[in-house]
Amino acid sequence: MCGIVGYVGMRTAAPILLEGLRRLEYRGYDSAGLAILPEDGPLVVRKRQGRIDHGLAPLVADFPAPGLAGIGHTRWATHGPPSDANSHPHADASGRIAIVHNGVIENFDRLKERLRAEGHEFLSDTDTEVLAHLIGRERAALAAEVGPPGELLVRAVSRALREVIGTYGLAVVSADAPGLVVAARRGSPLIVGIGDGEHFVASDAAALVSHTREVVYLNDYDVVAIRADGIQVTNLGTDTARVQISRLEFDAEAAERGKFPHFMLKEIFEQPTTVRNALRGRLDFDEATPRFGGLNMTLAELRGVDRIVVAACGTSWHAGLVAEYLFEEFAHLPTEVEYASEFRYRNAPLDKSTLLLVITQSGETADTLAGLREARRRGHRVLAICNVVGSTIAREADGGIYLHAGPEIGVASTKAFTSQVTVLTLLALLMGRIRQLSSSRGLQLMRALEAVPEQLEEILALDGQIAAIARKYHQARDFFFVGRQYQFPVALEGALKLKEISYLHAEGYPAAELKHGPIAMIDEHTPTIVLAPADALIEKTASNLQEIKARKGPVILITTRGHDRLASMADDVLFLPPTLDPIQPLLTVLPLQLLAYHIAVLRGCDVDKPRNLAKSVTVE
């Protein structure tokens, strides 16, 4: 989704902004631009539709933009199609103020009408341009006031924002206030980076890590004046602001591809390490129970929970579906898994002993955040399972568990999923151990979890074989993924991976459900990936496999080593190491990630930046 970068310091701003924007490319965008504040003279605005390397970068090379301060933006279209005119930055009526903005101004049409009546003319379809004009109008209204131009700009921004309904993360520069970037947030993340004689602002830590690891996470309604020698934060709501300097957990290297051709492949191969990190320090073998530092709930409070509602989107929602089986099996806790976008608008009855669990890699997904806020407003406790430290959801939840998976850059989520499932398995185990789950079963499950990182290494060694299967089937147009029980959510996730990055039609189904309709689509051109590890239902899944074969459907079987009889029925087979049923999703998903990856590469798709998708969806 849209990205923001800003810089004020002693260095030429344009290359720093371009580098920052490149680091935000993974979030998804369709155009890019920047505004440079020269030491004197008019603002320089450069913007172009398309990828940075084909649009903005050559434009800046042809028409350099000198200056030591500026703002930059990658846009993911919401109001108006991708075009040069709709790209950010947008200027006010005077052309002396420029802004970049993430989020959605909901009352922009009413504000636009009012401004039009006052004589303002607009060059784009965007809500952002309206905000630029509004700030310009407020600045003009302060023209008679005396005071440093920087202070007047901060006041103008604050006054304009009081009229705005909606969400924003924004950065503003004005030719009348050299050496100053004003930034503000409500509902859209913004982080200030603290350097030595220079300061940065960005919507995502990935744009900051190559410069500094000291950051300030802005809170909603914060307005910050950023200069080379310091920052000054005020809050529109409380008039006072909490400024706390935090340290970014990851370094620049973690946000780089290294020897891998794509971030997605790098992240798939990181999973032995990331699952180990998710388990680290959380397995107490003496007590046969997991332990967490950040839940902020006593065992008595956790015992008092009698129902769990999970709200999440996309891949995180699939991790929630695995958790449904886990909570029910280990702790006998009724669990419902909701799309956050549906949950937030339903008047779902939650009683006092219901626990809301939100799952989110980014910690910024708008619908998940809104679900959390709604539940908290009604007095419910919310736990978050989150990867990005310091993200809005991590900060607003009552407690939670971090994944510690490091930055996930590939738009198609991979390592976050396995870390989410690992952490959810631990949480379900804890809930079970404080209820009826025996210590021997607890220990057995914990040992199986501990073995997962090495087993993932073994599965990664199948990469060549998976690439060969991809070569065989990459021309197919439709794919089915089927599995039962714990494998059903994995089937959904496998289908989602393929759709996201290869644009092929893929559907996940419970294996037995295929015959209630979708089997009509099975023919010799439609491969089905059958997830049938050695679990309690392997024989039942084997019957479903035969139903597919009877319709001449090619079958790619994923099963456990030693199941040769089942393998003989399939066209292609991948053998995985054995584990317990509830731990299987952590193993079976990995070949599906690799299969989707190789198919997408063979089809010439841009794996890390799939069309129309964004890494972090901060609009509803």
- Asked if 319 and 359 touch (Cβ cutoff 8 Å), the reply is yes
Q: Do 401 and 391 touch, CB atoms closer than 8 A? A: no
Calculate helix-pair angle for 463-473, 584-602, nearest 10 degrees.
50
Binding positions for ligand G6P, 296-315, rule CB under 6 A: 313-315
User: Could you tell me the smallest distance in angstroms from the CB atom of residue 593 to ligand G6P?
Assistant: 12
Per CB under 6 A, does 502 bind ligand G6P?
Answer: no
Task: CB nearer to ligand G6P: give 112 or 497.
Answer: 497
The answer to whether residue 593 forms part of the interface with ligand G6P (CB under 6 A) is: no
Q: How many CB atoms lie within 10 A of CB 460?
A: 16
**Under a CB-based contact definition with an 8 Å cutoff, are residues 130 and 123 in contact?**
no
Of the pair 108, 343, the CB lying nearest ligand G6P is at: 343
- Is 361 among the residues that bind ligand G6P (CB under 6 A)? yes
For ligand G6P, the closer of residues 297 and 613 by Cβ is 613
Least Å from the CB of residue 617 to ligand G6P: 5
Tell me whether residue 615 is one of the annotated catalytic residues.
yes
Query: Are the CB atoms for 222 and 241 separated by under 8 Å?
Result: yes
> Given phi > 0 = left and psi -120 to 50 = alpha, else beta, which region is 592?
alpha
Least separation in angstroms between residue 127's CB and ligand G6P is 22
Contact 309, 343 (CB under 8 A): yes
Q: Does 91 bind ligand G6P (CB under 6 A)?
A: no
Q: Which is nearer to ligand G6P, 215 or 411 (CB)?
A: 411
Which sign, positive or negative, has the C-alpha torsion 229, 47, 101, 29?
negative
Cis peptide before 15 (omega within 30 of 0): no
188 binds ligand G6P (CB under 6 A): no
User: 254: helix, coil or strand?
Assistant: helix
Closest to ligand G6P by CB, 501 or 558: 501
Closest distance of CB 54 from ligand G6P, Å: 23
Stretch touching ligand G6P by CB under 6 A, among 230-238, 257-265, 356-364, 584-592: 356-364
Active-site hit among 2, 313, 386, 605: 2
Q: Does 384 bind ligand G6P (CB under 6 A)?
A: no
Are β-strands 199-202 and 214-217 bridged in parallel, bridged antiparallel, or unpaired?
unpaired
Among 493, 514, 615, 619, binds ligand G6P (CB under 6 A): 615
DSSP 3-state of 575: strand
Residue 268 binds ligand G6P (CB under 6 A): no
Write the interaction track for ligand G6P spanning residues 398-417; mark x where CB under 6 A is met and - where it is not: -------------x-x----
The answer to whether 94 and 136 have CB atoms below 8 angstroms apart is yes
On the 0-12 / 13-18 / 19+ scale of CB atoms within 10 A, 379 is: exposed
In the complex, minimum distance from the CB of residue 413 to ligand G6P, in angstroms, rounded to a whole number: 4
Q: Which residues contact 580 (CB under 8 A, 6 or more apart)?
A: 444, 445, 448
Question: Between residues 219 and 419, which has the closer beta carbon with respect to ligand G6P?
Answer: 419
Give me the least distance between CB of 504 and ligand G6P, in Å please. Answer: 17
Token code pair at residue 478 = 């439709």
Going by C-alpha positions, the residue among 96, 100, 103 that lies closest to residue 33 is 100
- What separation in angstroms does the CA of 102 have from each of 167, 255, 361, 504, 616? 8, 22, 19, 30, 12
Q: Which is nearer to ligand G6P, 122 or 250 (CB)?
A: 250
Binding-site size, ligand G6P (CB under 6 A): 15
28 phi-psi bin (left φ>0, alpha ψ -120 to 50, beta other):
left
- Among 274, 365, 485, 544, the residue binding ligand G6P under the rule CB under 6 A is 365
Nearer to ligand G6P, 1 or 574 (CB): 1
Q: Residue 620 interacts with ligand G6P (CB under 6 A)?
A: no
The minimum distance between CB 314 and ligand G6P, in angstroms, equals 3
Residues 413-452: x where in contact with ligand G6P by CB under 6 A, - otherwise, as a string: x---------------------------------------
Catalytic residue among 47, 415, 497, 615: 615
Binding site for ligand G6P (CB under 6 A): 313-316, 360-362, 365, 368, 411, 413, 613, 615-617
Q: Active-site residue numbers?
A: 2, 615
